């Protein structure tokens, strides 16, 4: 009886493997336009999002449509996020008159973000996404779900740049240069 079960399990595994292989062998590799379509859909999803700011007021990300957006996914408990925040603040001031809008999307509670903002002043909008912000970041290309994660979206709503990990002022300037 045990021998018969082992044989059936082996046949089932072989059948599943063959089915998986046959199902995927004829699928075309994603093209550049498919990747572009996916990032366009992710940007559209981001622009359709409404999140509360630190005062609890709902903010539509779409209010900044038509501007170059620098969207930084961060959290107060993330060391590299905390390190880059003063630089992002300085860049927000530097590019404020050039149709560039910085937005911070926090992967934490409003209470923790408010406590952080009282120590590190930021004049650009900080929106509270909680852990749902991780899904937004993943849709935009952050497959690891790690922080910090920064994207630059051009005024037409197309993804222009993405960076997982701490971003430097020079990297932001280089990403913005062709867009302003």
**3 among known catalytic residues:** no
Catalytic-role residue among 54, 78, 91, 175: 78
Bridging pattern class, strands 100-106 and 126-128:
parallel
Give the position of tokens 């050039």: 98
Q: How many Cα atoms are found within 13 Å in the side-chain-facing hemisphere of 90?
A: 10
Dist. CA 14–CA 16, nearest whole Å: 6
80-85 contacts at long range (C-beta below 8 A, 24 or more positions apart): 80/147, 80/148, 80/165, 80/166, 81/147, 81/148, 81/166, 82/116, 82/120, 83/166, 84/148, 84/166, 84/167, 84/168, 85/120, 85/122
Catalytic residue among 81, 127, 152, 153: 81
Spatial distance between the Cα atoms of 67 and 77, rounded to a whole number of angstroms: 29
Q: Which two tokens stand for residue 171?
A: 């990297």
81 is catalytic: yes
Catalytic sites, residue numbers: 78, 81
């Amino acid at each position: 009886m045990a021998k018969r079960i082992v044989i059936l399990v082996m046949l089932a595994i072989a059948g599943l493997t063959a089915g998986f292989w046959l199902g995927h062998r004829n699928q075309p590799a994603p093209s550049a336009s498919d990747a572009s379509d996916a990032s366009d859909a992710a940007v559209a999803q981001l622009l359709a999002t409404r999140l509360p700011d630190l005062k609890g007021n709902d903010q539509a990300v779409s209010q900044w449509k038509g501007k170059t957006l620098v969207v930084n996914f961060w959290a107060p408990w993330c060391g590299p996020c905390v390190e880059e925040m003063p630089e992002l603040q300085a860049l927000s001031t530097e590019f404020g008159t050039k149709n560039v809008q910085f937005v911070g999307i926090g992967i934490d509670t409003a209470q923790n973000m408010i406590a952080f903002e009282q120590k590190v002043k930021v004049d650009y909008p900080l929106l509270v996404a909680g852990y749902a912000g991780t899904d937004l970041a993943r849709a935009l290309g952050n497959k690891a779900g790690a922080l910090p994660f920064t994207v630059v979206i051009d005024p037409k709503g197309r993804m222009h740049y993405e960076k997982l990990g701490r971003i430097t002022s020079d990297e932001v300037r280089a990403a913005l240069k062709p867009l302003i």
